[in-house]
Amino acid sequence: MFPVIGPGAPAPDFELPDQDGESVRLSALRGRTIVLYFYPRANTPGCTTQACSIRDRDAEYAAAGVKVIGISPDPVAKVKKFHDKKDLNFTLLADEDHAVCDRYGVWVQKSMYGKTYMGAQRATFIIDRDGCIRHVIPKASPKTHDDEVLEAIAELKAGA
Protein backbone atom coordinates (compact mmCIF):
# COMPACT_ATOMS: atom_id res chain seq x y z
CA MET A 1 0.00 0.00 0.00
CA PHE A 2 2.62 2.58 1.03
CA PRO A 3 4.37 4.23 -0.67
CA VAL A 4 2.31 4.49 -3.81
CA ILE A 5 5.30 5.88 -5.66
CA GLY A 6 8.61 4.06 -5.52
CA PRO A 7 12.10 4.35 -6.94
CA GLY A 8 12.20 4.48 -10.73
CA ALA A 9 8.85 6.24 -11.09
CA PRO A 10 8.60 9.77 -12.42
CA ALA A 11 7.96 12.25 -9.63
CA PRO A 12 4.45 13.66 -10.01
CA ASP A 13 4.65 17.32 -10.94
CA PHE A 14 2.86 19.87 -8.79
CA GLU A 15 2.62 23.55 -8.08
CA LEU A 16 2.19 24.81 -4.51
CA PRO A 17 2.68 28.08 -2.64
CA ASP A 18 5.82 28.45 -0.54
CA GLN A 19 6.10 30.10 2.87
CA ASP A 20 5.92 33.53 1.18
CA GLY A 21 2.93 32.65 -0.98
CA GLU A 22 5.10 32.37 -4.12
CA SER A 23 4.28 29.53 -6.49
CA VAL A 24 6.80 26.67 -6.78
CA ARG A 25 6.52 24.08 -9.56
CA LEU A 26 8.53 20.87 -9.19
CA SER A 27 9.21 20.54 -12.92
CA ALA A 28 10.82 24.01 -12.91
CA LEU A 29 13.53 22.57 -10.66
CA ARG A 30 14.68 19.91 -13.14
CA GLY A 31 18.44 19.77 -13.43
CA ARG A 32 18.81 19.67 -9.63
CA THR A 33 18.56 16.80 -7.18
CA ILE A 34 15.60 17.43 -4.87
CA VAL A 35 15.01 16.09 -1.38
CA LEU A 36 11.23 16.31 -1.06
CA TYR A 37 10.06 15.57 2.43
CA PHE A 38 6.52 15.46 3.78
CA TYR A 39 5.81 16.32 7.40
CA PRO A 40 2.53 16.17 9.35
CA ARG A 41 2.20 19.62 10.95
CA ALA A 42 4.27 22.74 11.42
CA ASN A 43 5.48 23.63 14.92
CA THR A 44 4.98 20.17 16.40
CA PRO A 45 7.89 18.52 18.24
CA GLY A 46 8.86 15.92 15.61
CA CYS A 47 8.46 18.32 12.70
CA THR A 48 10.51 20.95 14.52
CA THR A 49 13.28 18.45 15.27
CA GLN A 50 13.38 17.39 11.62
CA ALA A 51 13.28 20.91 10.15
CA CYS A 52 15.90 22.34 12.53
CA SER A 53 18.22 19.43 11.81
CA ILE A 54 17.93 20.08 8.07
CA ARG A 55 18.60 23.77 8.75
CA ASP A 56 21.65 22.99 10.86
CA ARG A 57 23.09 20.61 8.26
CA ASP A 58 22.66 23.03 5.37
CA ALA A 59 26.37 22.86 4.47
CA GLU A 60 26.16 19.09 4.03
CA TYR A 61 23.11 19.36 1.80
CA ALA A 62 24.80 22.11 -0.23
CA ALA A 63 27.97 19.99 -0.58
CA ALA A 64 25.79 17.12 -1.83
CA GLY A 65 24.31 19.48 -4.42
CA VAL A 66 20.68 19.04 -3.40
CA LYS A 67 17.74 21.36 -2.78
CA VAL A 68 15.54 20.48 0.19
CA ILE A 69 11.79 21.16 0.09
CA GLY A 70 9.36 20.37 2.89
CA ILE A 71 5.61 19.92 2.33
CA SER A 72 2.82 19.84 4.91
CA PRO A 73 -0.97 20.09 4.70
CA ASP A 74 -0.83 23.37 6.63
CA PRO A 75 -2.02 26.71 5.21
CA VAL A 76 0.56 29.23 3.97
CA ALA A 77 0.24 31.41 7.09
CA LYS A 78 1.11 28.51 9.40
CA VAL A 79 4.00 27.39 7.16
CA LYS A 80 5.31 30.99 7.11
CA LYS A 81 5.14 31.27 10.90
CA PHE A 82 7.03 27.98 11.30
CA HIS A 83 9.64 28.97 8.68
CA ASP A 84 10.28 32.35 10.32
CA LYS A 85 10.11 31.19 13.95
CA LYS A 86 12.71 28.46 13.35
CA ASP A 87 14.80 30.58 10.94
CA LEU A 88 14.69 27.85 8.30
CA ASN A 89 16.99 28.18 5.29
CA PHE A 90 15.08 25.99 2.85
CA THR A 91 11.69 26.06 1.14
CA LEU A 92 8.47 24.93 2.80
CA LEU A 93 5.33 24.39 0.73
CA ALA A 94 1.69 24.49 1.80
CA ASP A 95 -0.47 21.60 0.54
CA GLU A 96 -3.62 22.70 2.32
CA ASP A 97 -5.98 20.50 0.30
CA HIS A 98 -3.47 17.61 0.60
CA ALA A 99 -3.62 16.95 -3.16
CA VAL A 100 0.15 16.51 -3.43
CA CYS A 101 0.20 14.30 -0.33
CA ASP A 102 -2.43 12.16 -2.08
CA ARG A 103 -0.42 11.98 -5.32
CA TYR A 104 2.70 10.84 -3.47
CA GLY A 105 0.77 8.30 -1.37
CA VAL A 106 1.50 9.93 1.98
CA TRP A 107 -2.05 11.00 2.92
CA VAL A 108 -2.91 8.10 5.22
CA GLN A 109 -5.15 7.05 8.06
CA LYS A 110 -3.49 7.64 11.41
CA SER A 111 -4.55 7.10 15.00
CA MET A 112 -3.80 8.81 18.27
CA TYR A 113 -5.39 8.26 21.67
CA GLY A 114 -7.93 5.88 20.15
CA LYS A 115 -9.09 8.33 17.48
CA THR A 116 -8.49 7.77 13.79
CA TYR A 117 -7.97 10.62 11.34
CA MET A 118 -6.32 11.35 8.01
CA GLY A 119 -2.95 13.06 7.91
CA ALA A 120 0.40 13.32 6.19
CA GLN A 121 2.83 10.46 6.80
CA ARG A 122 6.39 11.63 7.42
CA ALA A 123 8.17 10.43 4.25
CA THR A 124 11.02 11.55 1.99
CA PHE A 125 11.59 11.21 -1.75
CA ILE A 126 14.94 11.85 -3.42
CA ILE A 127 14.30 13.03 -6.97
CA ASP A 128 17.10 13.11 -9.54
CA ARG A 129 17.93 15.83 -12.06
CA ASP A 130 15.61 14.24 -14.63
CA GLY A 131 12.58 14.21 -12.32
CA CYS A 132 12.75 10.51 -11.47
CA ILE A 133 12.36 9.21 -7.92
CA ARG A 134 15.61 7.49 -6.97
CA HIS A 135 15.11 6.72 -3.27
CA VAL A 136 12.19 6.67 -0.82
CA ILE A 137 12.17 6.75 2.97
CA PRO A 138 8.53 5.76 3.59
CA LYS A 139 8.48 6.40 7.34
CA ALA A 140 11.23 8.86 8.14
CA SER A 141 12.34 9.41 11.72
CA PRO A 142 13.00 13.05 12.65
CA LYS A 143 16.11 12.07 14.60
CA THR A 144 17.78 9.99 11.85
CA HIS A 145 16.31 11.66 8.75
CA ASP A 146 19.38 13.63 7.69
CA ASP A 147 21.78 10.72 8.14
CA GLU A 148 19.53 8.49 6.02
CA VAL A 149 19.06 11.11 3.29
CA LEU A 150 22.72 12.11 3.03
CA GLU A 151 23.81 8.46 3.01
CA ALA A 152 21.31 7.64 0.25
CA ILE A 153 22.50 10.61 -1.82
CA ALA A 154 26.12 9.51 -1.43
CA GLU A 155 25.21 5.97 -2.50
CA LEU A 156 23.27 7.24 -5.50
CA LYS A 157 26.20 9.42 -6.60
CA ALA A 158 28.64 6.54 -6.13
CA GLY A 159 26.47 4.31 -8.30
CA ALA A 160 25.88 6.94 -10.98
Separation in Å, CA 72 to CA 38, 42, 51, 94: 6, 7, 12, 6
Residue 47 annotated as catalytic:
yes
- Give the active site residue among 47, 52, 101, 132: 47
| Distance (Å, whole) CA 92 – CA 80 | 8
| Distance (Å, whole) CA 3 – CA 5 | 5
Annotated catalytic residues are 47
